[in-house]
Structure 1
């Protein structure tokens, strides 16, 4: 019983320190690793090495992938490529189903761009569409927000799912995570879109704050009118589509049935489809978006890399600290004990979902919920029946579904959606928070059904 008590105490410490004391998740997770060592009486001479190895182990491979993905996303923001991507989706889908179009725009743009940034960038586009098509901006806002949120939570190269995949031993098979993530994302987006349609005739109730928004927009997040020249649709999509296709092709080539056969060509496909190589190719393709006529193109590339490193740094630290925390949990008896207990309860895929949802709702950060839960669940995969390659992928999806549930006042995304949509807090709870709860629950039910078929 004390085994469970110490784990619960550690989780309560993580929630209290991040949500109440506002400590940085990096520090909290590192301290949690030391607390676990103290509670479970891990030999003192192994504590520091276990934490260091856990921290370095997860970043040794995933770290560079996170950095490259972050820089690509930043360049897509700064060059207006994200806006071009959104406008291309609108042209393809047309304007017959405006909320559905907005959901798909969010889903596509959030693959390379953080959901917070994506909402700010696309806000003016969303508002102009709502006005032109005479649709409630509340419905359009929820459609956009839930589209952005789904991809942000389920599909690499977003850092959260990458870190979770790394913690669960999937760093060499991100292609499978992407493919399954896209399927689950479609279900989550559909759930959010259907909910958004409940607000088709409801207008925002906080109009007076609209004029204050411009002052709060970061400098790199502009509207379409702020760009003198925008890239073509092909150039805008290349830096993200090419890496994803390469990663997926590599995963197919690595299947036991060897569909591409064997030989040099397959070796090349596997090499360029390695997430590290694929995202490096994507990074160089993103450099092409920077205006060729600019005299200081080299400087702009250098600045983008510097800014990307600044944005990626806290994510890398949280990811590494999650790896350290997970490594410490693995050397304790908690895995065997909980695995046996949970197996008897028959929770299976719902266990990581419940833990992740509790962490997300309590402390607000989707990334922290993904990293922390994946670190905790890694030692239990065998006992809950998810120790196969596909089982681990479904576990990442279940953790992602939990990390969506729910976005409310302790989540920065909640405030971005509510403020830029001119919704009061109570209206945002009814519209946005409930939407994310529905997305999470719908997603985990769909993931559970997938496990019944494929595991």
Structure 2
């Protein structure tokens, strides 16, 4: 019965969002109340459950998400992202242009959220395709593959950050293992898939696309932008700090070194919140003050970044509320009891549940959050690596983007594709990322 109620809730969510065009956050809260009543949560406890889910999720995420948005905005507004992209294009040359786009998108994708990275990179991709007379999709597929993989697997992006917080996984480990999985996944789903897609839907590679909807883009002369080294260092600084702390912690465990003040300080600096704050302060200098940009303008960029993520934060909070309702309503325990004694790996189970929810709901973040509520009670029964469960949930939540996902429509409109062509390129691309990601996670689970 609990799973039937969850199914009714998901269908209701789809009807509210797609049928009645209701705001996603409002829809999530309405469904959370209704599902809580159906699951038999006492009326007096329902509001408390929703507040706990919303507050608990945002409490962990808001700091990292907010600082990350500011960091990305500073790099974009200073021209750092444009410098990274154009320098790599010039270094790789015309013959290896796809690889230049992949590397640039990966670096920028670590620092910027998916939608921001897409809006920032698409005009650059259009300009390169015009100059070199190559198909925009030839460059667009590798670009979106890199952005999507970083979005699904690497903190400080909302999905992996939220799931890690909910499951109590070490965020540094998620980042380290995420990189190991992300690199081969990007190669296969990017440049390799682009060649296959050209054979599946050759006509889509003749489309010219349109970015008129993006409005006027801020462009820079290359000499006006920060240097390549400084731009890359600023974009990747949170990753560097978190990775160093994780590697040192892993070495400490392996070698049995006693804890001391130095190791505690390294862990503190490598904490996601601390490393994001340090990186933002560095960006204020490297992307602002060092380039003689007044502090008022730098802070204006930060304020704009926060205003743009307000609704996304609420939607993530709404997903957290729905997840808490499933936990307090006993759905997670019911799923755990169903699979008690099963030989199915929690990694595979997390991926399957996230994939089903992603196809149903469209939102990768909501699918991932709901999955954590269902698989959390199971994890106490196994010694599975929590970082890998986080990554498997992230991989499942990327699968088969279609008409209920905003990314589907963005890709379709920017690249000027038909529905059939969008399914054969974008939807297939997201599915490949999800499946390859799972494959590499299962492979990694044999060693860690």
So what's the TM-score if we normalise by structure 2? 0.89
- Deviation, 1:230, is 0.7
2:363 maps to what in 1?
Answer: 365
Cα distance, 1:88 vs. partner?
3.8
Q: Structure 1 residues 304, 356: closer, same or farther in 2, change over 3 A?
A: same
Matching of residue 191 in structure 1 with residue 188 in structure 2: yes
TM superposition shift of 1:159 = 1.5
Q: Which runs of 4+ in 1 moved over 6 A?
A: 293-296
1:206/1:424 contact within 8 Å kept: no
RMSD: 2.8
Q: 8 Å contact 1:329–1:379 — kept in the other structure?
A: no
Distance 1:101 1:269 in 2: 34
How far the C-alpha of 1:352 sits from its partner, in A, is 2.1
Contact 2:57 2:316 in 1 (8 A): yes
Structure 1 residues 3-402: aligned runs within 5 Å: 3-91=2-90, 93-131=92-130, 133=132, 135-170=134-169, 173-193=170-190, 194-199=192-197, 202=202, 204=204, 207=207, 210=210, 213-214=211-212, 216-218=213-215, 221-224=217-220, 229-255=224-250, 256-257=253-254, 262-292=259-289, 297-343=294-340, 346-348=343-345, 349-383=347-381, 385=382, 388=384, 390=385, 392-402=386-396
When structure 1 is superposed on structure 2, of 249-258 and 140-149 the one drifting more is 249-258
Go from structure 1 to structure 2 and tell me whether the alpha carbon gap of 1:127 and 1:308 turns closer, same or farther (over 3 Å shift).
Answer: closer
Query: Contact between 2:138 and 2:205, CA under 8 Å: does it hold in 1?
Result: no
Count of aligned positions: 442
2:51–2:321: 8 Å Cα contact kept in structure 1? yes
Question: Offset at 1:141?
Answer: 1.3
Separation in structure 1 between the aligned mates of residue 436 and residue 84 of structure 2, nearest angstrom: 27
Deviation at 1:450, TM superposition (A): 2.6
Higher mean alpha-carbon deviation, 88-97 vs 277-286, is at 88-97
Asked if 2 retains the 8 angstrom alpha-carbon contact of 1:15 and 1:359, the reply is no
Q: Which residue does the alignment assign to 1:429?
A: 423
Structure 1 stretches lacking a partner, 5+ long: none
Instruction: Check whether the contact 2:368–2:393 (CA below 8 A) recurs between aligned residues.
Output: yes
Shift of 1:344: 5.2
Structure 2 residues without counterparts, runs of 5 or longer: none
Q: 2: distance between equivalents of 1:93 and 1:422?
A: 27
Task: Tell me, in whole angstroms, the C-alpha distance in 2 between the residues paired with 1:87 and 1:95.
Answer: 12
Task: Measure the CA separation in 1 of the matches of 2:374 and 2:204.
Answer: 41
Question: Using the alignment, how far apart are the partners of 2:277 and 2:28 within structure 1?
Answer: 30
State the Cα distance separating 1:229 from its structure 2 match: 1.4
TM-fit CA distance, 1:91: 4.9
| Contact 1:124–1:223 (8 Å) recurs in 2 | no
* TM-aligned CA deviation for residue 64 of structure 1: 0.6
Change (3 A) 1:9 1:127: same
User: Are the counterparts in 2 of residues 130 and 136 from structure 1 also a CA contact under 8 Å?
Assistant: yes
- 1:147 and 1:178 mapped to 2: Cα distance? 15
1:445 aligns with 2:439: yes
- Superposed displacement of residue 136, structure 1: 3.2
Other structure's SS at 2:110 match: coil
Write the distance in 1 (CA, Å) between the matches of 2:228 and 2:307: 28
- Alignment partner of 2:417: what SS? coil
Change (3 A) 1:278 1:418: same
- In structure 1, the partner of 2:405 is 411
CA distance in 2, matches of 1:218, 1:117: 14
| 2: CA distance, partners of 1:21 / 1:355 | 26
